[in-house]
Structure 1
Amino acid sequence: MTPSDLVNALPINKSKGHDCIDRLMRIIIHAGFFTQGEEGYLLTPTSCLLLKNEPLSLAPFVQAQLDPILMNPWHSLGEWFANGDSTPFATAHGKPLFEYAGDDPRLNRLKSLVDVGGGIGTVAKAISNAFPQLKCSVFDLPHVVEGLEGGKNLSYIGGDMFKSVPSTDAILLKVKEFSTI
């Protein structure tokens, strides 16, 4: 896309277009999200992960992270260090995250969760017991989940996360730390 095409495609004041977009694009190019060729700006493998129609798109994750609900606590860090609130989220919003989520309809629509690489389902079992209205699935390699019994709101799915992940409202990925002897 040429710089002019980019300015015309964006919902911005065109008088601020070229100079401001050129500066912004230099930063984004430096960060590795685009490259600049003779014809204009080109996508990189990293920027492809932000495309809406990309199967492995991270766009919803980025949008969630940039939502004011999650950004405002960062702006409240100074105040939080000085007060007695439990978290910066509580300082920013007047209540803890899960209490806030229970009151905000935008955050209260979660109907399903898939624990990717969930093994025998220890975490998913705890979540499904705590939230019986939530449909929980453990997704792991077929030989890992073979023979495991689910429950009324817990199921086991065999597959390969590098090929596809079941459709869901939320994906849980945990990091396991390994120690060496």
Structure 2
Amino acid sequence: MNMTHYMELLAANQPWNLLLFMAVPVILAETLAITELAVLFGGDTTPRPVRAANRWSGILAGGYFAVVFVTLMLTAAIPLTLGGGWRGPIDVVAVGFYLFGIVPLGGVALLDLGLIGRGRSERQRMKLHVAFVALFLVTAHVAMIAGMLDPTLIGGDAAAAVQDMHGMHGTAQ
């Protein structure tokens, strides 16, 4: 079976790529999502440690993913684009949606750091925070689902994908 670059990245260099590119961002995002629910439903009665976990998981997730984004843009997305190495539309969707995660996670971090949304009410900032968290969950799941597909299903080149995979041997391309 042919793999998308997204899935190949996670499968290469075990267990490190899986931990760095999937486990850490997902653990931070899930912590953010769970504490977000507690803050929403608890309101002013939400315990301080839960509020702190929400804020810090958002800041850490945004900062961490910014490093992941820059790393993958420089080592994978730009070289693949310039070299014509994409394995088809599914491959582009998987990697593209994964990288798009910087928008909502970066937004959460900037909001939690007080760099955006200053002129908004607490309720408006909370709505924006929830929207960013929801957007990240959607984009991450689209990336995961597309990443698990065979990239040759809609327009990908099977021969190139197989040759590409045999030449990779654990690189993050």
**TM-score interval, smaller chain:** under 0.3
Q: Provide the TM-score with structure 2 as the length reference.
A: 0.26
Q: Provide the TM-score with structure 1 as the length reference.
A: 0.25
Q: Could you say which structure has the larger radius of gyration?
A: 1
Query: Which structure carries more relative contact order (alpha carbon 8 Å, separation 6+)?
Result: 2
Higher helix share: 2
